[in-house]
Amino acid sequence: MHPHTNTHSGRKESLKALISSISLLLVVWCAFETFAGVVFFWPALKLFGYGTIFFLLVTLSKRRDAAKPSRFTMGVEIVAVCVLLSVAQYVSLQYLHRGLLDPSRLDIATTVESAIRTLFVFHENPYNPSDPGRWSGFNGVAYPYGPMMIFGYLPALYGPIFFKICSIVYLIGSLVLATRFVAQGVEGRLPKIASAVFVVALMMMPRAIWNDVSEGINDHFPVFLLLLSLTMWKAKKDIWAGVFAGLSLSAKFSPALFLIALFVRRSLPLRFFVGVAIGCVPMLWFIMWEPARFFNDVVHFHFVKNGTPTSILNLLPIELHDVVRALRWVCLGLFVVRNFDKELEVHSVMYEFTLLMILINSLHVEMHSNHMFWIVPTAAILLTHYRYRSWSLGRGVLGRVEPSR
pLDDT tens-digit map of 281-329: 999 999 999 899 999 889 888 877 777 777 887 778 888 888 888 899 9
Contact 20, 390 (CB under 8 A): yes
pLDDT of 96 higher than 80: no
Residue 354 within any structural domain of the chain: yes
Q: Does the residue 402 lie in any domain?
A: no
Beta carbons within 10 angstroms of residue 138's beta carbon: 14
Torsion sign over Cα 183, 188, 191, 197: positive
**Euclidean distance between CA atoms 123 and 130, whole angstroms:** 11
Q: For residue 80, give its domain range.
A: 3-397
**What gap in Å lies between CA 43 and CA 313, rounded to an integer?**
9
- If one counts the domains in the chain, the total is 1
Residue type, 84: L
Q: Say if residue 75's pLDDT is above 80.
A: yes
**Cα distances (Å, whole numbers) of residue 20 to 158, 201, 219:** 47, 15, 31
Residue 169 scores a pLDDT above 80: yes
Give residue 239's pLDDT. 97
Q: What SS3 string covers 17-62?
A: HHHHHHHHHHHHHHHHHHHHHCCCCCHHHHHHHHHHHHHHHHHHHH
Looking at the domain assignment, is residue 265 inside a domain?
yes
Contact 349, 272 (CB under 8 A): no
Rounded to whole angstroms, the Cα distance separating 50 from 362 reads 7
Contacts 24+ apart (CB under 8 A), 95-101: 95/207, 96/210, 96/211, 96/214, 97/211, 97/214, 97/215, 98/214, 98/215, 99/214, 100/164, 100/210, 100/213, 100/214, 101/161, 101/164, 101/165
Task: Kindly state whether residue 21 falls inside one of the protein's structural domains.
Answer: yes
**Residue 153: its pLDDT value, please?**
96
Report the interhelical angle of 238-251 vs 270-279 (nearest 10°).
40
405 in a structural domain: no
Q: Tell me whether residue 404 is in a domain.
A: no
Q: What is the pTM of this model?
A: 0.91
Q: What is the pLDDT of residue 363?
A: 87
In 47-203, which ranges are E strands? Answer: none
Best CA proximity match to 184, nearest among 125, 219, 231: 231
Q: Is residue 116 part of a domain?
A: yes
pLDDT at 167 over 50: yes
In a domain, 334, yes or no: yes
* Sequence-ordered list of residues with C-beta below 8 angstroms from that of 304, at least 6 positions apart, any chain: none
> 78: closest CA among 22, 144, 142?
22
Going 393 to 379 to 366 to 85, the CA torsion angle's sign is negative
Q: Report the C-alpha gap between 127 and 119 in whole angstroms.
A: 10
Gyration radius (Cα) of the chain, Å: 22
pLDDT of residue 398: 44
Average pLDDT of span 129-140: 64
Q: What is each CA distance from 239 to 54, 192, 245, 268, 270, in whole angstroms?
A: 31, 29, 10, 13, 9
Which pLDDT score, from 0 to 100, does residue 99 have? 80
Given this model, what pLDDT does residue 388 score? Answer: 92
139 pLDDT tier (thresholds 50, 70, 90): low
